């Protein structure tokens, strides 16, 4: 009888998850408000499970700390969720999805650019003070902010200051003026100050392209249709002050800063100086404004940029197919190397800015998706890679769809495929994807199938984020390697944060089981959470810790 009850309980749990996933795909009733209706119910936990972590971790509760140590979900707006049936993701689609986002444990959003632009990606801005009509209205954006804030979710705006579009009114005014200017005459600031918003020259330097019909060239490092702004010009800086005030007054919680190493090409000191100006300009409006910069570079260069006082910079050395995490999982680096890399990064960044908050991530909209990094993997490597990122200290970022093991590589459009809510591409809410996107064959199941599987990529993300948020020291602490437990395949380290409980994380990053004797450590430790990639349990028998392949033990000091 007991076994029958257990089986019935398990079946009931699975049925509830399937029903929740099914309900997430149904069309909104006519006249209903996106703010009041969600695409996916909050994450449910089955009554019983063969996967140890589902039961073991179910009573872990997120701690509340109103600071910048968040768990952030990056949404490529065009491809996330379509609320009006035109095939394009939009702001109301995000509003409809807030139960899903919050249920997974995310408490901050980074939205890729929402400003008007002729491109699908919107990184060439036409108007810094408006919302692209394809995504919705200003009222929709304000409603999204309000909905997020009511849930304790912060929102970061993607701020592209390195360049504008070539159809931005500033550039159009400048080029119209130069085209009408006699070839031998110099521009006059009072006649057209917008010429000084960009960098024009009569010589074609590296990174400059011709302005057709004139003897002039302009700087456009990324693309001829993305002219670079002259960020050293005080008039441009006044524009920057005005636009950040506009959005902060709207309620935006901070900015993701695009291409911070390219503000002044080849001049790291000038980039630091502009970042310092921008940080101060934002903090003068809102001292709590949070800034995270894209610095696609090495550890030493990132540390140099931290001298600006910026809150965070993305930790690129750990990310992408050639980063420390993948090189550790494929055996090129040892688990000890991974721990050592974390401690070296913390030391370098803290030395430049003691108040820094690291911004670890594994992939973003410019990178091939992580499920494609491990050709023969049926789940464990993909899972462990993101756990290694999410369990780093700082404000952790996750690209939409990675929690499903989505694939996409090659051209940029492929990396920005529609969120895989369901395998039915015609279902309500599904996006068509970027123009010219190639067909992407997904490796793992869509969301509405993964929610019923306790060994899915989705369930793994739910549990890793649950652990991250339950133990404040994981995100906020400093890393100390436990050398006696580390080796080629096992990473072990303690996170210490003043005023919080220490946490010992022991990761088995290889495909064979490992044992560790904890009696060599100071004090006694208890098993407080587990993360399993299969049904083999993690055990702690006295001081003997047994870790199955690709698993993580989370320990705290014994009472």
Please tell me the distance from the alpha carbon of residue 365 to that of residue 75, in angstroms, as a whole number: 9
Query: By three-state DSSP, how is residue 435 classified?
Result: coil
Residue 374 is classified by DSSP as -
**What one-character DSSP code corresponds to residue 152?**
T
Helix (H) or strand (E) run with residue 553 in it: strand 551-557
Q: Is the dihedral of CA 467, 470, 473, 476 positive or negative?
A: positive
Say which residues have a Cβ less than 8 Å from residue 312's Cβ, sequence separation at least 6: 68, 290, 291, 292, 293, 356, 357, 358, 359, 394, 395
Quickly list H helices, 151-263: 169-180, 234-250
Catalytic residue selected from 147, 158, 294, 448: 294
The whole-angstrom separation of Cα 86 and Cα 20 is: 25
Catalytic residue among 102, 258, 320, 413: 258
* Residue 258 annotated to the active site: yes
Secondary structure of residue 461 in the 3-state scheme: helix
CB 274 within 8 A of CB 264: yes
Q: In this structure, are residues 260 and 275 in contact, taking their beta carbons and an 8 Å threshold? A: yes
For residues 381 and 388, give the distance between their C-alpha atoms in angstroms, rounded to a whole number: 10
Q: Is 90 a catalytic residue?
A: no
Nearest to 348 by CA among 291, 299, 293, 292: 299
In angstroms, the CA 261 to CA 302 distance is 9
In DSSP notation, 478-504 reads EEEE-TTT--SSEEEEEEE-TTS--EE
Q: How far apart are CA 491 and CA 480, in angstroms?
A: 11
Catalytic residues: 258, 294
């Amino acid at each position: 009888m007991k076994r029958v009850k257990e089986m019935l309980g398990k079946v009931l749990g699975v049925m509830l998850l399937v029903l929740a996933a099914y309900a997430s795909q149904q069309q909104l009733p006519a006249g209903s408000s996106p703010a009041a209706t969600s695409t996916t119910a909050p994450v449910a936990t089955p009554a019983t499970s063969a996967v140890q972590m589902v039961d073991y971790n179910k009573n872990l509760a997120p701690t509340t700390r109103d600071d910048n140590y968040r768990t952030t979900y990056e949404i490529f707006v065009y491809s996330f969720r379509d609320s009006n049936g035109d095939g394009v993701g939009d702001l109301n689609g995000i509003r409809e999805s807030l139960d899903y986002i919050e249920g997974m444990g995310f408490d901050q959003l980074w939205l890729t650019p929402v400003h008007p632009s002729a491109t699908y990606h919107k990184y060439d801005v036409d108007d810094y003070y408006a919302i692209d009509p394809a995504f919705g209205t200003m009222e929709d954006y304000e409603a999204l902010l309000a909905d997020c804030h009511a849930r304790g979710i912060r929102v970061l705006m993607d701020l592209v200051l390195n360049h504008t579009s070539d159809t931005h009114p500033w550039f159009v005014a400048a080029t119209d003026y130069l085209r009408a200017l006699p070839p031998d005459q110099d521009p006059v600031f009072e006649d057209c100050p917008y010429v000084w918003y960009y960098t024009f020259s009569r010589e074609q330097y590296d990174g400059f392209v011709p302005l057709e019909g004139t003897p002039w060239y302009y700087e456009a490092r990324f693309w001829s249709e993305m002219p670079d702004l002259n960020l050293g010009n005080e008039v441009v800086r006044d524009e920057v002050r005005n636009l950040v005030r506009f959005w902060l007054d709207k309620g935006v919680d901070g900015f993701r800063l695009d291409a911070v190493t390219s503000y002044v090409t080849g001049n790291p000191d000038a980039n630091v100086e502009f970042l310092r100006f921008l940080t101060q300009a934002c903090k003068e409006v809102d001292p709590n404004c949070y800034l995270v910069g894209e610095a696609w570079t090495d550890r030493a260069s990132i540390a140099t940029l931290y001298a600006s006082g910026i809150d965070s910079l993305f930790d690129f050395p750990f990310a992408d197919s050639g980063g420390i995490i993948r090189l550790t999982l494929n055996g090129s680096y040892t688990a000890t190397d991974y721990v050592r890399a974390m401690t070296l990064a913390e030391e370098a960044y803290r030395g430049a800015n003691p108040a820094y908050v690291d911004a670890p991530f594994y992939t973003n909209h410019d990178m091939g998706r992580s499920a494609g990094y491990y050709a023969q993997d049926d789940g464990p490597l993909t899972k462990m890679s993101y756990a290694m990122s999410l369990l780093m200290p700082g404000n952790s970022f996750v690209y939409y769809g990675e929690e499903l093991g989505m694939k996409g590589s090659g051209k940029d459009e492929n990396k920005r495929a529609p969120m895989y809510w369901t395998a039915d591409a015609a279902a309500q809410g599904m996006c068509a994807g970027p123009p010219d996107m190639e067909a992407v064959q997904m490796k793992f199941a869509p969301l509405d199938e993964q929610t019923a599987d306790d060994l899915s990529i989705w369930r793994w993300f739910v549990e890793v984020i649950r652990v991250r948020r339950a133990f404040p020291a994981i995100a906020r602490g400093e890393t100390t390697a436990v050398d006696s437990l580390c080796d080629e395949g096992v990473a072990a380290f303690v996170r210490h944060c003043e005023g919080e409980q220490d946490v010992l994380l022991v990761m088995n990053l290889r495909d064979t089981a490992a044992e560790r004797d904890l009696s060599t450590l100071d004090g006694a430790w208890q098993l407080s959470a587990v993360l399993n990639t299969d049904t083999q349990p993690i055990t702690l028998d006295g001081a003997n810790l047994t870790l199955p392949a690709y698993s993580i033990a989370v320990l705290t000091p014994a009472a």
